[in-house]
Structure 1
Amino acid sequence: MKLFQCTNCNNTVVFENNICVSCGHYLGFSSYYNQMVALDPNSIQWNIPALDGNDYTYCSNNQHGTCNWLVPVRHSSNFCLACSLNRTIPDLSNEENLKRWKRIEFAKHRLVYQLLRLRLPVISKTINSENGLCFDFLSKEDFDSADKDIKTGHANGVVTILISEADAVIREKVKQEMEERYRTLLGHFRHEVGHYYWDRLVRFDNAVLDGFRNVFGDESTSYPDALSKHYFNGPMGNWQDFYISKYASSHPWEDWAETWSHYLHLMDALETAFNFGLRTAPKLNKESELEMKANFDPYQEKNFGVILETGIPLLYTMNSMNRSMGEDDPYPFVISDPVKIKLEFIHNLLNRRG
């Protein structure tokens, strides 16, 4: 994630901030210009020369404390790009729903920020019902007993997220039950949109599809049968040698979605490290592969080798810092050589289309 400053007082601010704690100015984010700007707190509409000189107002979801993105006054919608993707939101009269939805929106906005940085098409189903993307944020309590099996997932451009995933206690419980090493809201978003972009980038391009099958396998094998086998028998004994996670070994579609989400993890971590100017120079007796300099914007880097040479030491450093605080590894995965090839396939695909 890019580092942001208040344009009024230069105080460092967080992506989700809607007010500068230093000078009291409102803060608004322009997804088009990738800029955070300070706003007069005595107004609800602003002319912003730093952008394009047009008049802006907050996205309608700002009233709920879930969005600080700006919308041009001349825009036909009152919602920003990220919020326009919502098809269903929970009942906000329920205070617990509102708290959970706020966490979900923060994660979703970070996702959309990254999709834009990757120059991917972000189109709401309200504009393109066939090929667009939308989100349903649902609670199991909202459905009859017959529909209680609803799950977080993707189907035909509709990403469903159970709002219970925003509860850290529930999420940790499911993580333990599923024997997962990593489970986060942002991780869910990245995984599920991976399925969506497989449809958009791979499914209908025969050349890309052939390349996908050479790297990930034949996706035409029965998906339901593969998942049933995975949940009944578990993953193969040496799955770590070929896949980024146990679930990735279940079917080529899940391998793609899991690898896609890890590609997004890696790129976001590298952008953050770049903006902080991070480097490592391990104090060891001899030269180490853990030495790195995050001195490049990963979204502008064509050579995936450079990304890996910097990213792997960065992830190792992140894990080591967390252990110093008595916390679990934020990235508890090993990137094997076959996984590197899969990550590079995604990187090259995005760079070719970009």
Structure 2
Amino acid sequence: MKRFYCSSCDEEVYFDNHSCGHCQRRLGFDPATTQMIAIEEAGDHVFAAVGAATGQYRLCRNHSTAACNWLIDASSDHERCTCCRHNRTIPNLSVEGNQVLWSALESGKRALFYSIMRWGLPHPNAQSDAKEPLIFDFLSDETLPDGTVNRVLTGHDEGLITINIAEGDDAVREANRKAMGEPYRTLIGHFRHEVGHYYWDILVRDGGRLDAFRELFGDERADYGQALQKHYEDGPPADWSDHYISSYATAHPWEDFAETWAHYLHMTDTIETARSYGIIAAATKAISGQNAALDDVREGYDAKSVAALCEAWVPVTIAANAINRSMGQPDLYPFVLNRSVMTKLGFMHDLIHDAAH
């Protein structure tokens, strides 16, 4: 993401902040301008922008239950923000701990929608007349009277993304990561992966790109259930790291696409952050002795080519991994961009930028 500043005092703030640590003003994120707006009460549940910003807003109805800090234009009839309107099912908030888990999930979803809206990708909600709206169910496992547990599986089906709210618990998510043998498992990673399946439907299947997709990723008509079963029983091919971004990407062409899509979002959003803090130029100069092609990278989301994106990405991740190791933390990015993956990332780049507006 880019850097954010309080519209009242111009001090730096973060995307999830509800108030400014310097001037103590209440803050909200305006998705229309992608700015953090300082606000003050103006009566009748309306808030007026303070400082450099202008306009009047209302708070998202989920501001107190899901820690949502997104704003709604005061003239709108909506009670919930652009992001929260995509929810169909939320957790039972009468169950202790569910509100904390839901808030964690919503934080990851807001980061996802920042990317979607930065590009202007289509994201119809259930109130639209779209054939396949983007909808979210946040569900929990259910224990039946006989002791049987109905497990909620995180996944995507025709526009409906289901997330098990237990993933909002850091300890549970880490246990799942170890059990699955994954090098990386985060909430934002879940959202970026699952929405990749949604955009496969919208931009590939319905966008006339099946032939180009199959040439790179394989034939998605291969039985999905059998492919997953084989993957979990036999594991990935021995040479998977020469052709895929992750071992899970080998399971089926759909999963290869969703994994690659997620990594394209990882790269663009992180590069926007790195550039806004001056990290790209410094890391590239330190590691390669050359200056980064900043005009080609621009802000990550507006990169002219995937080659420019990858050129900036490698030194940034080398530096970030080294910093994490200095703090005894896992690598920020424990993956390798092989030649095949870079070609697939190029497919994502063209797909997204052709659909962006």
User: Which TM-score applies when normalising by structure 2?
Assistant: 0.92
Please state how far the C-alpha of 1:11 moved relative to its aligned partner. Answer: 1.4
Q: Where does residue 114 of structure 1 map in the other structure? A: 115
How far 1:108 sits from its partner (Å)? 0.6
2:36 alignment counterpart:
36
The reply to whether residue 161 of structure 1 matches residue 163 of structure 2 is yes
2:173 maps to 171
In structure 2, relative to structure 1, the CA distance for the partners of 1:322 and 1:231 (3 Å cut) is same
Q: CA deviation at 1:259?
A: 0.4
Gaps (5+ residues) in structure 1?
Answer: none
* 1:142-176 C-alpha deviation (Å, 9 max, x unpaired): 77766713201111111111111011111111111
The alpha carbon displacement at 1:87 in A equals: 0.8
Q: Distance in 2 between matches of 1:253 and 1:51?
A: 46
Aligned partner letter, 2:114: Y
Residues 283 and 312 of structure 1, relative CA distance in 2, 3 Å threshold: closer
CA distance in 2, matches of 1:143, 1:160: 20
Render the CA deviation track for 1:196-232: whole Å, top value 9, x for unaligned.
00000000233x1111111111111111111111111
Q: For 1:229-248, what aligned pairs fall within 5 Å after superposition?
A: 229-248=230-249
Whether contact under 8 Å (1:273, 1:294) holds in the other structure is no
Are residues 1:342 and 2:344 paired?
Answer: yes
1:262-273 → structure 2 map (5 Å cutoff): 262-273=263-274
Q: Which amino acid aligns with 1:85?
A: H
Tell me if structure 2 keeps the 8 A contact 1:291–1:313.
Answer: no
C-alpha deviation, 1:118, in angstroms: 2.0
Q: CA RMSD, aligned part only?
A: 2.3
Q: Quote the offset at 1:88 in angstroms.
A: 0.8
| Pairs within 5 Å for 1:30-179 | 30-40=30-40, 44-48=45-49, 54-64=55-65, 66-128=67-129, 130-141=131-142, 148-179=150-181
Deviations 1:311-346 (A, max 9, x none): 111111111110111111011001110000000110
The answer (yes or no) to whether the contact 1:29–1:36 under 8 Å persists in 2 is yes
**Long gaps (5+) in structure 2:** none
CA drift of 1:275 comes to: 1.2
* CA positional deviation for 1:255: 0.1
What residue number does 1:7 align with? Answer: 7
Letter of the aligned partner of 1:12 in structure 2? E
Equivalent residue number for residue 228 of structure 1: 229
Shift of 1:281: 5.2
CA distance 1:219–1:164, change in 2 (3 Å): same
Maintained 8 Å contact 2:40/2:50: no
**What is the alpha-carbon distance in structure 1 between the residues aligned to residue 350 and residue 291 of structure 2?**
25
CA contact (8 A) 2:2 2:276 kept: yes
Amino acid paired to 2:25: H
Name the amino acid aligned to 2:313. G
Alignment CA distance shift 1:142-1:32 (3 Å): farther
Count of aligned pairs between the two proteins:
351
Match of 2:330 in 1: 328
Provide the secondary structure at the position in 2 that maps to 1:299: coil
> How many angstroms does 1:51 deviate by?
9.6
Secondary structure at the aligned position of 1:36 is classed as strand
The percent of aligned pairs where both chains have the same amino acid is: 42
TM-score by structure 1 length?
A: 0.93
Question: Equivalent residue for 2:183?
Answer: 181
- Report the Cα offset of residue 192 of structure 1: 0.3
Measured against aligned partners, the alpha-carbon deviations of 1:72-91 in whole angstroms (never above 9, x if no partner) come to 22222200010001111111
1:259-299 Cα deviation digits (max 9, x unpaired): 00000000011010111122235798xx8278647662122
1:238-272 deviations in Å (ceiling 9; x for gaps): 10000001110011000000000000000011010
CA distance in 2, matches of 1:69, 1:15: 10
C-alpha distance after superposition, 1:81-122 (max 9, x if no partner):
100011111111233111111111111101001111122112
Once residues 229 and 95 of structure 2 are traced to their aligned partners in structure 1, the CA distance between those partners, rounded to angstroms, is 36
Q: Structure 2 counterpart of 1:100, which letter?
A: L
